[in-house]
Amino acid sequence: MNKTILREIVSEQREMIKKKDLGIEREKLALMEKYIKMPHVIVISGMRRVGKSTLLAQIIDKYYKDSFYYLNFEDERLMDFKVSDFNALYEVFIELFGEKKTFFFDEIQNIKGWERFVRRMHESGFKFFITGSNASLLSAELGTKLTGRFLPLELFPFSFREFLILKGYNLSKKSLTLTKERGGLKRLFAEYLKEGGMPEYLKYQDKDVLKRVYNDILYRDIVARYKIKEVEALRETALYFLSNISSLFSYNKLKQALHLGSSNTIKNFADRLQNSYMVFILNIFSYSLKQQYIAPKKICCVDNGMADAVSFKFSENKGAFLENLVGIELKRRGENVFYYKSAKGFEVDFLIKKGRKIDCAIQVAQSLERSNVKDREFNALLFALKEFNLKQGLVLTEDEEDEVSISGKKILIKPLYKWILE
């Protein structure tokens, strides 16, 4: 890399990150007070446009002010940047800003071998905050070169709490008890359920923003990076997933539906989409790893708004969006999540595993008013409670609340908007 060009890029980007609109304070920022004091490399990963750069700007503004180096490797002028250029980059940083001890690197996975520079400098006492939007590239590099030296942090689209702050809603204890306040909260939850939490989309209310992110992931992050030739098949796979959130699928059946020659092609596509953080795939819970591998999978999208913008199916399938939102929230909380289906056909939407045991069983239903729906959800949940020796289970609905005891087991029924704020 030409040093003159590097100086221009570094100077411009530093001004941009310092002037960046900080938006609302992300919940993850609260972790930084502890993380900053630790020597580890902080690795922030997540889908494109979920706010990773904004979180870096918030960290800089709150804790570092002028005492930092910053570079975003998404800049097209850095297309020829190689790992051998890091020394030149460090010299440019010192020339322009003096000696600092903290680096902020955005979308670093674009540079092959980046982890070698980070490790060398980290071992010399430097602090690093890095972001990336490809799980497999980050994990492979971190696992081999930075084992034990990094702390991972996954960033998701806005949580419901963050969404409420964006909308100017003052959340308090009265929000869940007083009729007027609860009505306003439920109205905003209905909006959040459909619109999702992508910051840029919520700011401009233009669904083309979501479609651009979707296309960038497909064509820039997957097709270009992995030199995919079956582009149309990849697009159809992604569209199928986002049009069928909360549904079960198998690689073989999807292969047949899309007229592809191999189920491995579908699996590779699913892995790429999952590595980009656009979707996440849940396995069935089984004590047999083989059964987990061969059984159908459950597909979830990381943002309801994106699924709605791409598939245009929200009004037809509100229950699926409620279930998908529960999946997102469980992943946001860092839970080890599965779905469950017994040999007798009883299906439970989510099981949470902690250690070696199942800790919680959750059903999601838009409403329990119809007796056949209530019986189906309760019977499946009761089967799982007995199977895993749990005292109580949870049913999340759009707006119903109750507590019932059946066969010595307790079933809590809660509105999803209440549970998501717990």
CATH number for the domain harbouring residue 87? 3.40.50.300
Are 186 and 111 part of one and the same domain? no
Which of 153, 126, 152 has its CA nearest to residue 51? 153
Residue type, 3: K
Annotate 144-185 with DSSP letters as a single string. Answer: HHSTTSEEEEE--SPPHHHHHHHTT----GGGGTSHHHHHHH
Q: Give a yes or no: residue 329 inside a domain.
A: yes
pLDDT at residue 147 in the model: 77
Are 236 and 278 part of one and the same domain? yes
Are 117 and 183 part of one and the same domain? no
Tell which phi-psi region holds residue 57, choosing left (phi > 0), alpha (psi between -120 and 50) or beta. Answer: alpha
Q: Is 235 exposed, middle or buried (0-12, 13-18, 19+ CB in 10 A)?
A: middle
pLDDT at residue 158 in the model: 98
Are 102 and 26 part of one and the same domain? yes
Are 11 and 86 part of one and the same domain? yes
pLDDT digits (tens, 9 = 90+) for 299-319: 999 999 999 999 877 767 899
Are 185 and 330 part of one and the same domain? no
Q: Give a yes or no: residue 247 inside a domain.
A: yes
Residue where a domain terminates, one of 175, 194, 213: 194
Q: Give a yes or no: residue 183 inside a domain.
A: yes
Are 148 and 240 part of one and the same domain? no
Residue where a domain terminates, one of 194, 209, 243: 194
pLDDT at residue 313 in the model: 73
pLDDT at residue 182 in the model: 84
Q: Give a yes or no: residue 51 inside a domain.
A: yes
Q: Which stretches in the chain have pLDDT values below 50? A: none
Q: Give a yes or no: residue 280 inside a domain.
A: yes
Structural domain including 101 reads 3-154
Are 189 and 165 part of one and the same domain? yes
Are 244 and 144 part of one and the same domain? no
- Total domains in the fold of the chain: 3
Are 184 and 325 part of one and the same domain? no
- What number of other Cβ atoms are within 10 A of residue 287's Cβ? 7
Are 370 and 387 part of one and the same domain? yes
pLDDT at residue 257 in the model: 87
Q: Give a yes or no: residue 211 inside a domain.
A: no
pTM of the predicted protein model = 0.95
pLDDT at residue 49 in the model: 96
